[in-house]
Amino acid sequence: MEVRGRGVVQGQGSAAAQHRHRHPPPAAAPRVQAGDALPLPIRHTNLIFSALFAASLAYLMRRWREKIRSSTPLHVVGLAEMLAIFGLIASLIYLLSFFGIAFVQSIVSSSDDDEDFLVGSSGAPATAAAPSRSRQQQAPAPCALLGSPAAAAAHEKMPEEDEEIVAAVVAGKIPSYVLETRLGDCRRAAGIRREAVRRITGREIDGLPLDGFDYASILGQCCELPVGYVQVPVGIAGPLLLDGQRFYVPMATTEGCLVASTNRGCKAIAESGGATSVVLRDGMTRAPVARLPTARRAAELKAFLEDPANFDTLSLVFNRSSRFARLQGVQCAMAGRNLYMRFSCSTGDAMGMNMVSKGVQNVLDFLQDDFPDMDVISISGNFCSDKKPAAVNWIEGRGKSVVCEAVIKEDVVKKVLKTNVQSLVELNTIKNLAGSAIAGALGGFNAHASNIVTAIFIATGQDPAQNVESSHCITMLEPINDGKDLHISVTMPSIEVGTVGGGTQLASQSACLDLLGVKGANQDSPGSNARLLATVVAGGVLAGELSLLSALAAGQLVKSHMKYNRSSKDMSKALP
């Protein structure tokens, strides 16, 4: 899929007025401090623990003096003294941590310089006075998205505290990856990292937005070292009439014609009575690889894993990893003394890679008792196979295996698709079947299934890299009812989707899932939301295949792309 950048037409008005409208003056919003991540401002927290320390110490000293005078053993303590001792220890730990963390972290950071991708070109540690001198020598202006938004326009310095952190990151004294933890503010950390990148590379990244995104929502699960976010437009194709329901399918793409073409396919399907789907299989896979001393020993382990008598035991061990994970089977293959074990399990409404990996690890630990000579090389041995075109997924399936079909009436083929049944059938045979065979395609017996799969994946928070196997599809067209009507189907054996976990919990992606009615986990029937999403993906592919093949048969492809996939701006006016 070709990605083309698009310009943005700005509104009328002076640049200064627009800048003031978009960016209020610094006084309008308080500056975010690192201590804002605490329940109380950090100065209040310091005051509380300092007072607690002093009060506890004073009380204990007074009590101990009284015990000494009255010859009472010091180890005999009451409830009040126990509370005072606890308060003394807690406040002491806090104060030592607070005042000592900067010193300790500076030592750790200096030893990790080579691990951080944001190390300055000099690589030399700076003295205490070096940051201020380096700031005076910095040629680029401060990032407009840090501190005061109006600072860049007026060429003012950013807040001194942020300036010192940026300088430390550039110099390699503070690893970029610790900013969120150290500052306690994900948005501020992203802004500081962004400015550090700008200074190191000398490249302006003004077109990459920073504000308007919840960086806390991706911390530790979706993206590391963020400096902004990419905007991808989302279009709606539909209604897609599938299994008696109407779906409005969100598609995130930068390719012109794609949404419009899929929308036309949806129209043709709806006017012909809708499409139907069936889920043939639902199971995520993970295939570790282990090395045994000999091929004979590897064959013994293979026989143990594939023996039906052992399945209940393996299933019990595997299923401990999750209340949704359920082992379905184990398929093994050998290469010399290396054994590849392909585990398949149901994963509820999650896509399930982490879930099946945990279950596999449980089984490997269990097998180690009976096969102590087993050397586990990797939890993934590529027999899974994830994010790579593989015949095992094409034949055995991975994720959800779905078939979607529809009968398109003759009059709809002519009026909506602007072609005829015979031309479509002939084109599909020569292009999708014979042409793909000539090319040696693996799972690619279709016109453009990956276009629709990827667009829906991005919109709904799926892993876009899994479009590789999820786009495996064979498109079949044949005439029925004496050649008057068209039967079309798509068979997709490895659609890997989920409605919980990963990017599905982000606000925009969650909204798209909600639009389809599959947001989150289905409490009544675990796994049904993910299966429904898989059928919608297959239905979207069916609509996309139908429309593109019709455009090719009618010779409309180039004309449509010239109309919808090119900028309509008069670029000559933008030239000097």
Give pLDDT tens digits for 124-174: 333 333 333 343 344 444 444 444 444 344 334 678 899 999 999 999 999
Whether the predicted pLDDT of 31 surpasses 60? no
Q: How confident is the model at residue 42 (pLDDT cuts 50, 70, 90)?
A: low
User: Alpha carbon of 428 to those of 251, 276, 442, 546: distances in Å?
Assistant: 25, 21, 17, 10
Over range 218-242, report the average pLDDT.
95
Residues belonging to the active site: 255, 387, 463, 561
Residue 573, pLDDT score: 47
Helix (H) or strand (E) holding 532: helix 528-553
Spatial separation of the C-alpha atoms in residues 78 and 62, rounded to whole Å: 14
The pLDDT tens digits of the residues spanning 348-358 come to 999 999 999 99
Q: How confident is the model at residue 108 (pLDDT cuts 50, 70, 90)?
A: very low
Residue 564, pLDDT score: 61
Instruction: Scan for tokens 């053993």, then name that residue.
Output: 73
The pLDDT tens digits of the residues spanning 177-188 come to 999 999 999 999
Spatial separation of the C-alpha atoms in residues 240 and 546, rounded to whole Å: 13
Residue 101, pLDDT score: 53
Residue 113, pLDDT score: 42
Residue 509, pLDDT score: 97
Spatial separation of the C-alpha atoms in residues 463 and 275, rounded to whole Å: 26
Bridge partners of residue 399, in order along the sequence: 283
Residue 333 corresponds to which tokens in the numbers above?
């293959």
Cα torsion through 325, 331, 334, 337, rounded to 10: 50
Answer whether 126's CB lies under 8 Å from 171's CB: yes
User: Alpha carbon of 525 to those of 349, 529, 530, 531: distances in Å?
Assistant: 9, 8, 11, 11
Find the length of the chain: 576
The pLDDT tens digits of the residues spanning 200-209 come to 999 999 899 9
Whether the predicted pLDDT of 70 surpasses 90? no
Q: Which of 48-52, 101-105, 252-256 has the lowest mean pLDDT?
A: 101-105
Residue 127 corresponds to which tokens in the numbers above?
């003295």
Residue 19, pLDDT score: 42
Which of the two residues, 83 and 442, has the higher pLDDT score? 442
Over range 383-398, report the average pLDDT.
96
Residue 164, pLDDT score: 93
The pLDDT tens digits of the residues spanning 427-486 come to 999 999 999 999 999 999 999 999 999 999 999 999 999 999 999 999 999 999 999 999
Q: Which of 23-37, 54-68, 352-366, 405-419 has the lowest mean pLDDT?
A: 23-37
3 state DSSP class of 72: coil
Answer whether 428's CB lies under 8 Å from 314's CB: no
Which of the two residues, 70 and 292, has the higher pLDDT score? 292
Residue 318, pLDDT score: 96
3 state DSSP class of 200: helix
Closest CA to 381 of 474, 294, 285: 285
The pLDDT tens digits of the residues spanning 482-496 come to 999 999 999 999 999
Helix (H) or strand (E) holding 296: helix 295-306
Q: Average pLDDT, whole number, for the chain?
A: 84
Residue 309, pLDDT score: 97
What domains sit in the chain, N to C, each tagged with a CATH number?
160-218 (no CATH), 234-282+400-562 (3.90.770.10), 288-378 (3.30.70.420)
Q: Which of 6-20, 65-79, 538-552 has the lowest mean pLDDT?
A: 6-20
Residue 51, pLDDT score: 87
Rounded to two decimals, the pTM is 0.73
Neighbours of 528 (CB within 10 A): 17
Which of the two residues, 553 and 48, has the higher pLDDT score? 553
Q: Could you give the percent of the chain with pLDDT greater than 90?
A: 67
